[in-house]
Structure 1
Amino acid sequence: MDEPRDPTAAAVGARVRALRSERGLTLSALARTAGIGKASLSELEQGRRNPTLATLYAVAGPLGVPLVALLGDAPGAVVADPGDPEGPGDPGLVARLLHVDRDPGTTTEVYWIELPPGGRRDSVPHTAGAVEHVLVVRGSLVVTVDGVPTSLGPGDAHAWRADVPHGYAAGPDGAAGVDTIRTGPG
């Protein structure tokens, strides 16, 4: 008997499947380009796998869409990355969608992000031309963009081109803040 599907996972899976189909990509081609297993992508599309932030970004890049195109525009959507598999089981980065704004040709996504003490998130490059901006509200955060680290504390902000490898590492008290991603035509 099939397990009941999580409505959020099912909706994300349907969006991935529709976008893949619109672009004429096979399941195998998208999985290969995204660097994930074909079985994992199939489970994601069927709503049987809870999507992680890393998986969604891996899929969004080859589809040429911002993350919110997979999550949907409804504020409150939450996506997380697992923490260190060798560690105590912390959730890693948790991102909650606060707002989406669409202008002709651009999408601006606003997220509330939280990382546990010592938590980190390494991100693949976003779509071409994407710009990211983070404002630290609580704790401390080191943002590393293309190998260059920038330390931030409460009230500090940093902006960068997000179409290069980048990541976040929280300090000993963790970190929370507002992350904005603006994606335009690539």
Structure 2
Amino acid sequence: MELAQQVGGRLRDLRGERNLSLSALARRSGVGKGTLSELEAGRRNPTLETLYALTTALGTPLTAVLGPGPTRTSLSGHTVDAILVERYEDPAAVTEIYRIRIRTGAVQESDAHPSGTEEHLIVLSGTARVGAASAPVEAGPGEHAHWPADIPHVYEAVSGDVEAVLTVRHPA
């Protein structure tokens, strides 16, 4: 099944499970109602930023809209490109592992994820400025940064593109 159709169906199902109207989810997520309608119908390819806005508003991990199936799902945004490498679920949490690229020249400002969500970044190349929007930190090759992702946070490439591994842990 094409990614847009799979994501659209899962978005529609998750919205229905939460008894949210299209308008209510659009309002909560900041995603236009027309865009959301096209996504749910599978007629529009989602960006990484749009999916994060929607899954945050639904209180669910990003992988909940990707559904079961093979890993290596690739998503692109204005600042960050991500490839889902692994999803691990246990009674305590859902952990997602992504191979990401942060592009130079833009800043990704991410809204707070559900309570208790944490992110960890291991930088492979380049220098990233990441973490809490109020106090981001820099991490270079071989370095690690971590932050609570249940507050607004940022991703930025300080000089040149950044290649990294991102782990997102969502409590159950």
**TM-score, scaled relative to structure 2:** 0.94
Change (3 A) 1:17 1:42: same
Q: Which residue of 2 aligns with 1:109?
A: 96
Alpha-carbon contact 1:136-1:153 (below 8 Å) kept: yes
**CA-to-aligned-CA distance 1:23-51 (integer Å, 9 cap, x gap):** 11111111111111111100010111111
| Pair 1:50-2:45 in alignment | yes
1:77 corresponds to which letter in structure 2? T
| Pair 1:131-2:118 in alignment | yes
**CA-to-aligned-CA distance 1:32-76 (integer Å, 9 cap, x gap):** 111111111000101111111111111112211001101234311
State the SS of the aligned residue for 1:29: helix
2:117 corresponds to which letter in structure 1? A
Q: Which residue of 2 aligns with 1:76?
A: 72
- Distance in 2 (CA, whole Å) between partners of 1:136 and 1:26 is 40
**CA-to-aligned-CA distance 1:59-113 (integer Å, 9 cap, x gap):** 112211001101234311111112xxxxxxxxx3100000010001410000000
The alpha carbon displacement at 1:173 in A equals: 1.8
- Distance in 2 (CA, whole Å) between partners of 1:144 and 1:65 is 20
Q: Which residue of 2 aligns with 1:36?
A: 31
Gaps of 5+ in 1: 1-5, 83-91
Alpha-carbon contact 1:119-1:174 (below 8 Å) kept: no
Q: Which residue of 1 aligns with 2:14?
A: 19
Runs of 4+ aligned residues of structure 1 deviating over 3 Å after TM superposition are none
- Distance in 2 (CA, whole Å) between partners of 1:15 and 1:166 is 26
**CA-to-aligned-CA distance 1:127-152 (integer Å, 9 cap, x gap):** 11101000000111011413102111
Alpha-carbon contact 1:97-1:110 (below 8 Å) kept: yes
- Distance in 2 (CA, whole Å) between partners of 1:20 and 1:173 is 39
2:28 corresponds to which letter in structure 1? T
State the SS of the aligned residue for 1:58: helix
State the SS of the aligned residue for 1:148: coil
**TM-score, scaled relative to structure 1:** 0.87
Alpha-carbon contact 1:132-1:161 (below 8 Å) kept: yes
State the SS of the aligned residue for 2:71: coil
Selected match of 2:133 from 133, 142, 146: 146
Gaps of 5+ in 2: none
